[in-house]
Amino acid sequence: MNRSSTLGSEGTGDRGGLQIEIGFTRMKKKYDIVPGLFWIGLSIFAMIGSYKLELGDFRDPGAGLMPFLIGALLFLISLPLVVKSMLELMKRRITEKTESGKINFTKIVSVAVSLFLYCFFLQKLGYLAATTLLLLFLFKTASSRKWRFVIIASVLTSVVSYVGFTFLGLRFPRGILGI
């Protein structure tokens, strides 16, 4: 029976319910993190234990050189398994949180630009005006709330934070409004 003819592009073949796995295609499970961490821990334990046995060098190897090299090799094999599994798990969680399954980079860039502009206009407009404008933009960008809610929340947040911080003795830029 020639199984190579049943192999798909992902490296698995299916013939009558029989699954064949080739290479590292199995690394897509989120549970690969725990075994990978176990092997990393075991490799570190082996390297520490072999280091106590005197490593020596390649011309005059000590008793601990070979166990140390095996522990290092085990570490180097286990590390990509853990890193890849963690990255896939984080990617899965990010795509579950986004509605369309993709990260909206325009929102990320627009928020970063708005924070930069806030720093630039804070001295010119003053704390209350600049913070209210920033919060208007951020609330409207982050959620699909109505304008009434966005305006009330922005003004209220700016005023409460201004009063709270001035009560603590902080001074804010007055800007064009003189407040």
Rounded Cα distance between 108 and 103, Å, is 9
Distance CA 39, CA 33 (A): 10
Is residue 67 in a domain?
Answer: yes
Please indicate, yes or no, whether residues 91 and 110 belong to a single structural domain of this protein.
Answer: no
Residue 170 inside a domain? The answer is: yes
State the pLDDT at residue 102: 65
Residue 11, domain member (yes or no): no
- The four Cα atoms 142, 143, 146, 152 give a dihedral, to 10 degrees, of -60
Amino acid 34: pLDDT: 83
Bridge partners for 21 per DSSP: 12
Record the pTM: 0.44
Residue of 21, 24, 66, 27 whose CA lies nearest to 47:
66
Q: What is the pLDDT along the chain (179 residues), one digit of tens a residue?
A: 444 444 444 444 444 444 444 444 444 455 678 888 888 999 999 888 888 888 888 788 888 888 888 989 999 988 888 888 888 877 776 666 655 556 677 888 888 888 888 888 888 888 888 999 999 998 888 777 788 988 999 999 999 988 888 888 888 887 776 76
3-class DSSP state for residue 56?
strand
- Domain of 126? 105-177
Residue 142: CB atoms within 10 A of its CB come to: 11
Beta bridge partners of 12: 21
Is the residue at 143 inside a domain?
yes
